[in-house]
Structure 1
Amino acid sequence: MNERISIEEIIRLYKIDYSFLDQLIDSELLHPETENSLRYIIYEELPHLERFANWHYDLEVNLPGIEIIHKLLNQMEELRNENRKLLQNVTRFETWEDADF
């Protein structure tokens, strides 16, 4: 079972509005687990929650803005990973070309 924290505890610790957290869940930016009618967020999603809360409360970014920024950052990460793979393939090809047979 994943480590997790209840929604109520998140609201208390992070001092965020329940409605904001609910909007993040409705937008599928966070994916709660439910057990015994209590909702939990897994620890792995807490960095996302912190980032979203910072954007919202510190930078006054609204939910559609958060969704767009999150999507763009994910796309950038995917492109970085693809770039890394391509560079590895080029390096392997160059190494293979230089090999004496």
Structure 2
Amino acid sequence: MNYPDDSLIPLDKFCISCGIEVSFVHNLSDEGLCELIVTEESTYITTDQLTQLERLARLHYEMEINLEGLHAVLNLQEKIASLEEEVRNLRRKLERHQGPELT
């Protein structure tokens, strides 16, 4: 994969700025919860992972949720997002059949 330089953040700098351990992010990567880009020189994360990594770090460090718990939280968040999308789609269909007064 080719990433433009501005979409990569050095892992060590990210960890320092967030006050988390590099090993924590490596553990997340080992569990499939994030992707690390490893070159001969350094290890990087992509900018599109920032929000999720920060959320996972807060859950782990502030709420003391372990890796298995993080998996469960992410799965539940994905299910909630999917159900919310389904509800939106069903409301649109229902509005088409009954009119906009249901909102």
Q: What percent of counterpart residues are identical?
A: 27
Question: Does residue 7 of structure 2 align to residue 10 of structure 1?
Answer: no
Determine helix, strand or coil for the equivalent of 1:61.
Answer: coil
Aligned residues: 95
Distance in structure 1 (CA, Å) of the matches to 2:96 and 2:19: 50
TM-score by length of 1: 0.83
How do residues 10-29 of structure 1 correspond to structure 2 at under 5 angstroms?
Answer: 10-29=14-33
Structure with max Cα Rg: 1
TM-score by length of 2: 0.82
**Aligned counterpart, 1:99:** none
1:32-66 per-residue CA deviation (whole Å, 9 max, x = no partner) reads: 23344532211121111111111111111111011
Distance in structure 2 (CA, Å) of the matches to 1:33 and 1:42: 8
Segments of structure 1 that go 5 or more residues without pairing to the other structure are 96-101
Determine helix, strand or coil for the equivalent of 1:16.
Answer: coil
Determine helix, strand or coil for the equivalent of 2:68.
Answer: helix
**Aligned counterpart, 1:32:** 36
Distance in structure 2 (CA, Å) of the matches to 1:94 and 1:16: 52
Determine helix, strand or coil for the equivalent of 2:96.
Answer: helix
**Aligned counterpart, 1:89:** 93
Report which stretch shifted further, 36-45 or 63-72. Answer: 36-45
Distance in structure 2 (CA, Å) of the matches to 1:11 and 1:33: 15
Equivalent in 70, 84, 88 of residue 74 of structure 2: 70
Segments of structure 2 that go 5 or more residues without pairing to the other structure are none
Q: CA RMSD in A?
A: 1.6
